[in-house]
Structure 1
Amino acid sequence: MDDQAAGSPQDAHRVPHCYRHPDRETGIRCTRCERPICPECMVNAAVGFQCPDCVRSGSGTGHAPNAAMPRTLAGGTVAADPHLITKILIGINLAVFIAVQFSEPLLNDLVLIGRWPPEPFLPTDGVADGDWYRLVTSMFTHEAIWHIAFNMLSLWWLGGPLEAALGRARYLALYFVSGLAGSALAYLLGAPTTGTLGASGAIFGLFGATAVLMRRLDYDMRPIIALLVINLIFTFTWANISWQAHIGGLVAGVVVGYAMVHAPRERRSLVQYGTCALVLAVIVGLTLLRTAQLT
């Protein structure tokens, strides 16, 4: 950052930088405090855009109680802690990881598996036997420390900005739909007796949605594309990685993410949650198809 005082002759020829993200140039200012804000920090207001700080302190500014509530880019409610859901998801993953370290039967009850093979494995039911809950529980289950470390770092890096841009409810919908899509494709195309676990499907959904969001905000796409390509190379070259879960999550993330940030304002919620419902319907259909094949 430049340490020169604002208003110097040199500053007059420079594009302002977001006060919350000093590395980002912007030509937009908060309509209340007039500080420069980048697209990620822009909150829709009745007139123009406001910064998150002004939104949080809005109740004490004398604005009318019935004034239009500021919204995120996707129409979500602006929260005091824009990373709360991401923190909760990380906490759940860590709690499950610790629990399964002390209980192999618990691990067997949570992983995604179509059908358990015969002895000497535990006589536990798989998804084809009615344990559909495994499509969800496997999203929060990790066995190796490197696996959960990589996924949680990715969740923090990708999830925080997305949660701030979408709002809590929309972000949570994106996460679960992407994770379920990854589980469904792994169930459909994977070996029925191979266990699958990890948050990677949901994480790849966040990758896809982040790319869509960056495109919507006209950011430089090269960093996210390079990171995604590297992860896809690992997906198809490393052993014991479920490429089906990664691809399923990525496709769902792109579809849901596009609906979240491009939905027309007058039908925003209908388009956003309607798209989530359609993707969920496809997930249910794929799950029923695979179950019919295995029973």
Structure 2
Amino acid sequence: VYSSERNEQGQLIMVGTWDGAAKAIVPLPSTEKHPDEPERCANPQPQRVSPPAPRPEPLAFEADELDHCETAPEAYSHVAPLLADLASCLSVTISSLRIYDPFFCNGAVTRHLAELGFESVYNKNEDFYAAIESGRIPAFDVLLTNPPYSSDHPERLLDFCVNCGRPWLILCPNWVYERPFFSQFFQRGMREIQGGKKGRGEARVGSQENIFFVVPRKRYYYWTPRGRRSDLASGSSKAKTHGHTNAALGIRTSPFISFWAGGGFPWQITRALCAPEGCMLVWRLEHLPPSVRDCGNKGCSGKESVSMGNRKRHAR
């Protein structure tokens, strides 16, 4: 028997079991010690409770309300090993690896990555494009973001990735397969970049031809902070279709299948890359599995060149 509340991974929280004979719910045992319990239960481990998300602050830039979705913690855990490899390649600790997320929603990326040990995350309530024009982009080692998908935001972001000379990880919806800009961008592998700026240590971003895709086996959920979307206000018709909520994350939604696209990583990392646990690793956009891409597209090859990530990353 499960509660309607969900945990940070988007899973329902178990509250008890069903007794068929008694036709009643049997609640799960309390974590508090009962006087008659054996001594081994004297010091139960307290369950970690995530603090409520902060109240959304007014944004310093114009934004489409439909873009207000923050990434689930699970998605960050899938790329955490890759980020750790980059930190090692740059001879820095994971806590000092400088991660830049240029698109602010409500700051969840900072909280989720900090729980994974990545404490140097730059995600502030500021206009990304104004920062580009004024030269106020912060120093960073890797760009990681779940960008807004409305208007031309994705195209402008990819243009920035081409010129920034740093590794990048972008969450992409599955419909990128059908948009000419994306397919051309990923198919050419950014080959016009013949070199990159030197990062910290001796690592160097190369030609950035090795673009890859980390595809989760289970669909990612997204979370809209309370107060960011008027159509999800309490009592609205839209809110009734988004019933699962979490105090630490917001209102759950899953508008499309999505996956990570990455590029610009040092060759030492990409040559040894393998699929994270619970994911598939794909090297070509047209080789996305049928469950992810739209096979009605004429460009579908029907061929799957993927690495099945049903195992842990091998030691290197």
TM-score range, shorter chain: under 0.3
Normalised by the length of structure 2, the TM-score is 0.23
Normalised by the length of structure 1, the TM-score is 0.24
Q: When you count helix as a share of all residues, which structure comes out higher?
A: 1
Q: When you count strand as a share of all residues, which structure comes out higher?
A: 2
